[in-house]
């Protein structure tokens, strides 16, 4: 009989702040790029017409993780979360079950943190101003993580006015229209990807753009013509070229493997930005190794008695 | 905030008996064969040298399931379970998390039940005597399910004497050597698959053999020469031909797709056994849709207030 904690989303947010999420996410990219942490491809379980479930495994640092997470775009209209599910953490050496963790909290933290890690690695020295296009849960966490990393002030844009106001109010930033947000030095997009929110005409020299919304085939937040003008980066080529922002450009043969550098390789010393005027674009599809890094920190804090969670018997 | 039950292995065994497991498992095979329940291929997460984790999704009847389960063969020597992990159950229409369920209990029930379902579908009329080769957790549940379905008495064989005695004592059967178990009318093998436990010389006309141990590439419980003398069935061709008992025979080109019938198709009316003398062999690799059927019944019983389980907030 094994006893394990079940850690709620509230407990996750109390235990892991933006700064910790950024450190964990950076470590995840570095370790993965060095081959120390591993991650088979995620599996999609189609649940049409509602969306799909994804099973995302990862292994590293003596831990094995499985994230079971939905992407149900229609849920928003029903007042339900688009992203929900659980993370299971196990001991990689014995298989022992270690924890059940609420999953949307972990997802938000590592998604927002990826935007900040990409800005720290790729934005030019001195770039500070931020544009957030799409101020939902993950857009808000991108803003929080960028603010925590010293970026800002920023412009918050969302077709849902109240979302933009809430985030701007929280961070002491301001609300603006999409083109104004798209003109900032560091721009983050987290929209459903039904239509481009970064046009070629929006681009300014030296910008860094983190594209977080596209996580399945057919979604696209950036005009192809804009993509062609950027120096390209991604979290993982396989995911990004198959179902991320870059997928359409790859399909159109405008972009190939040799045109795109993985962020982990940049963190480990590969060439990132090559000039102050260049525009860098980071395609974030979301990796299970990022979840692993967050959950590892969380579990260590729980073991240290710093996280409140009910313990159940399996 | 979602509140979900965490259902322990003890609670699973209290709620689901062998008869229920058999009914659930039969329904799972039927529904899957009719295309009503779906199941993408399982993903393996290698955790060498200890074993691997498997993420197994399934969808049906308004439910989505993910089983996260180990196969750590070396754990036995450490006094740890080989099979452990959790099942996550979600609402397929909303993505809502419904339950966390201990996984080895579910696995044992559906694995043992598959042996009984295969015997009911494929053993000749009047076949009663049982041989169990390998009396570990899943061998024991095969015995229990067969007994519950009216089979027996049986012969229990295991290189670990105490395991054979425990099962024989529980069911009122007797202990015997491997060849004696292999000579019964219904034979179940649940061994690690390091060496054949069914030889061509063991075969008797009219036998039904359920082969449950081989669940990964390289494992084999039945001599190739013996396989060639049987009429072949499996739970699912993709899994069985890639990592099940049939994999070696397929690799040796002794067996092809046209030689093997899926059990669900037999249950739905396809040809099973064609004569009383024929020897039938069922290769069970274990399907996530079987887990789904068990967990669906369990969850319904929990909703009806019949299963005790702590409720936690995600």
The complex's ipTM works out to 0.93
Confidence of residue A75 (pLDDT cuts 50, 70, 90): very high
A192 touches chain B (CB under 8 A): no
Q: What is the pLDDT of residues A101-110, one digit of tens each?
A: 999 999 999 9
What is the per-residue pLDDT for A1? Answer: 77
The DSSP H or E segment spanning B309 is none
B180 touches chain A (CB under 8 A): no
- Write out residues 32-51 of B within 8 Å (CB-CB) of A: 38, 40-41, 43-47, 50-51
B162 touches chain A (CB under 8 A): no
Query: Annotated catalytic residue: which of A67, A78, A128, A219?
Result: A67
Strand partners, B158: none
Average pLDDT, chain B: 96
Catalytic: A219? Answer: no
- CB < 8 Å to B84, chain A: 2, 95-97
What is the per-residue pLDDT for B222? Answer: 95
What is the per-residue pLDDT for B174? Answer: 98
Q: What is the pLDDT of residues A1-24, one digit of tens each?
A: 799 999 999 999 999 999 999 999
What is the per-residue pLDDT for A217? Answer: 73
Shortest distance, CA A7 to any CA of chain B (angstroms): 7
Subunit contact A51:B310, Cβ cutoff 8 A: no
CA distance B62 to B66: 14
**What is the full DSSP assignment across B22-43?**
HHHHHHHHHHHHTTSSB-PPPE
What is the per-residue pLDDT for B243? Answer: 80
CA distance A42 to A239: 9
Contact assessment for residue B133 and residue B197, using Cβ atoms and an 8 Å cutoff: yes
Shortest distance, CA B9 to any CA of chain A (angstroms): 6
- Write out residues 227-266 of A within 8 Å (CB-CB) of B: none
Subunit contact A50:B92, Cβ cutoff 8 A: yes
Q: What is the pLDDT of residues B51-91, one digit of tens each?
A: 999 999 999 999 999 999 999 989 989 999 999 999 999 99
CA distance A277 to A259: 18
What is the per-residue pLDDT for B3? Answer: 97
CA distance A226 to A187: 13
Confidence of residue A151 (pLDDT cuts 50, 70, 90): very high
Q: Look up the pTM and report it.
A: 0.94
CA distance B314 to B300: 20
**Coil/strand/helix, residue A159:** coil
Shortest distance, CA A46 to any CA of chain B (angstroms): 8
- Write out residues 96-115 of B within 8 Å (CB-CB) of A: 96-97, 100, 102
What is the per-residue pLDDT for B5? Answer: 98
Confidence of residue A243 (pLDDT cuts 50, 70, 90): confident
Contact assessment for residue A19 and residue A112, using Cβ atoms and an 8 Å cutoff: no
Note the Cα A264 to chain centre separation in Å.
Answer: 14
């Amino acid at each position: 009989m094994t006893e394990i904690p079940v850690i709620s989303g509230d407990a996750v947010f109390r235990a892991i702040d933006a700064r910790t999420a950024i450190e964990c996410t950076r470590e995840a990219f570095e370790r993965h790029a060095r081959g120390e942490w591993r991650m088979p491809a995620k599996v999609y379980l189609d649940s049409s017409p509602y969306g799909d479930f994804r099973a995302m495994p990862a292994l590293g640092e003596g831990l094995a993780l499985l994230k079971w997470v939905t992407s149900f775009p229609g849920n928003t209209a029903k007042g339900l979360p688009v992203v929900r599910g659980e993370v299971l953490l196990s001991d990689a050496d014995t298989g022992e079950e270690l924890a059940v963790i609420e999953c949307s909290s972990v997802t938000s933290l590592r998604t927002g943190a990826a935007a900040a890690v990409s800005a720290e690695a790729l934005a030019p020295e001195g770039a500070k101003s931020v544009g957030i296009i799409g101020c939902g849960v993950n857009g808000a966490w991108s803003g929080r993580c960028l603010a925590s990393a010293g970026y800002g002030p920023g412009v918050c844009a969302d077709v849902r006015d109240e979302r933009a106001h809430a985030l701007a109010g929280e961070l002491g930033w301001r609300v603006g229209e999409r083109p104004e947000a798209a003109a900032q030095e560091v721009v983050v997009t987290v929209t459903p990807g039904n239509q481009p929110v970064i046009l070629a005409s929006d681009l300014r020299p030296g910008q860094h753009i983190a594209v977080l919304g596209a996580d399945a085939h057919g979604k696209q937040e950036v005009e192809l013509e804009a993509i062609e003008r950027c120096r390209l980066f991604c979290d993982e080529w396989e995911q990004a070229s198959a179902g991320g922002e870059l997928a359409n450009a790859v399909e159109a043969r405008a972009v190939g493997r040799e045109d795109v550098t993985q962020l982990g390789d940049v963190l480990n010393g590969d060439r990132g930005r090559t000039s102050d005027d260049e525009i860098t674009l980071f395609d974030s599809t979301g990796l299970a190794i990022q979840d692993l890094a967050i959950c590892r920190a969380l579990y260590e804090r729980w073991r240290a008695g710093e996280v409140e969670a009910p313990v159940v018997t399996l």
